Amino acid sequence: MNKKFKWLYPGIRIKRWISLSALGVALLIIGVVKLVYDSMPVVRKLDMLVIFLGAALIIAGIRSMVKSILSIFSSLPGKDLVDVIYKKRYLERGPKIVTIGGGHGLAALLMGLKEHTTNLIAVVTVADSGGSSGRLRQEFDMLPPGDIRNCLVSLADAPSLMGELFQFRFKEDSELKGHNFGNLFITAMTQLTGDFKRAVEESSRVLAIRGKVLPSTLHKVSLIAEYKDGSFIEGEATIPEKKLPISRVYLKSIEPGSGEIKPTLEAIEAIREAQIIVIGPGSLYTSILPNLVIKDITRAIVESSALKIYVCNVMTQHGETDNYTASEHLKTLLKHTHPKIVDYCVINNKMPDKNILVKYQQEKSFPAKADVSEIKKMGYRVIQGDLVHTTDFVRHDSGKLAKSIIEAFRKEAIQRAI
């Protein structure tokens, strides 16, 4: 049946008010027609009465119809009508933002940005080879779902319990030990549809996400690192384990005869249409660069007129970026890509709490030195401030980070308009 007729289904409580409004329209028309042709004053007064009655019925019908519809929103748990209107009207006018990366860093960024816009697209690495994702990738010959899942949950507008369900990890004494429910859900959806991209789209609907999550490529790939001593290692999860300075990383297709690794067309289109492109935060060599070493993605970013922002990690990562300063993070990014891939570099200049840093020092991870002057010498602008949130971990504060990016965009827009 046509969707328009669903409004007439029993129990929707709309038919009665449609009928009332229709009766009002009929009386209004009759009253106007009679008023034109009747000449007797008494009859004309009756005609005017019919017109007013018709108008009153129309107003009453429409008013009751609107109330009936709005009552649905007010009865939904956690759904305030003002919030619904705000999200639909205000956020859909927000800037078009594309984020590029993977891991927990990108997920935190998305959680903040979704409060400013629904025009949000995350381009996510599919080079993950460890943990639950690695096991599912190997067993089912599919793309790894882990980083995709984290981004979906961060963008979710569904009740929080749905997000917790997707992040639920089975206990070690289970046959499913180490697996996330969300990873298994995406895997099952991939098996059901035969298409990883469609599985991600269907998962997005389940979580009612604000924005969109796209794999950077649909090729099955493996990440390879070349170290400064000339040695190589393959596999995203094993790269930090060697604990040697990395010279470069690149992708290798593990599909026979697949040729050059190509990005998803939607990712390229999103980059071309973006007003803001945010790279990072996240593991430099294993979360960010696996997207950017796909040549067409870097080329699209360079050619884009969007504001391009790189978010430097707060802490160094043992086995990847030991002793790196903020400028060395940026230099590594540029070495793998292009000088015009960045306009701004976002740097945290607030030292995390010493008690938390003790744990990181044991893991040989330290705050990345905010050498702002060196970055400015390289010709890049800097956004700096207190951008961290510390509990048990040192992480970017999603709200502070998103606000700093939006403010930079607004200032840039004003400058370009002058």
Would you state the pLDDT for residue 329?
Answer: 98
Percent of the chain exceeding pLDDT 70 equals 91
- Give 161: exposed, middle or buried? Use CB within 10 Å, 0-12, 13-18, 19+: exposed
* Structure confidence by residue, pLDDT tens digits, 253-272: 998 777 889 999 999 999 99
Distance CA 270, CA 300 (A): 10
| Cβ contact 147:287 at 8 Å | yes
Distance CA 81, CA 68 (A): 13
* Structure confidence by residue, pLDDT tens digits, 282-308: 999 999 999 999 999 999 999 999 999
| Cβ contact 112:403 at 8 Å | yes
> Quick one: residue 415, left, alpha or beta (phi over 0 = left, psi -120 to 50 = alpha)?
alpha
Distance CA 40, CA 36 (A): 11
Would you state the pLDDT for residue 274?
Answer: 98
* Structure confidence by residue, pLDDT tens digits, 95-104: 999 999 998 9
Read off the pLDDT of each residue in 179-194 and give the average, rounded to a whole number.
92
Question: Looking at per-residue confidence, does 77 or 59 come out higher?
Answer: 59
Distance CA 388, CA 350 (A): 7
Helical ranges in 38-158 per DSSP H? 41-75, 81-85, 103-113, 131-140, 146-155
Residue 3 has pLDDT above 60, yes or no: no
Please report the sign of the dihedral spanned by the C-alpha atoms of residue 343, residue 349, residue 355, residue 360. Answer: positive
Backbone angles phi, psi at 29, to 5 degrees: -65, -45
- Portions of the chain given CATH number 3.40.50.10680: 87-125+260-417
Q: Which residues contact 55 (CB under 8 A, 6 or more apart)?
A: 24, 28
- CATH assignment, 87-125+260-417: 3.40.50.10680
**Beta strand pairing call for 381-385 and 221-227:** unpaired
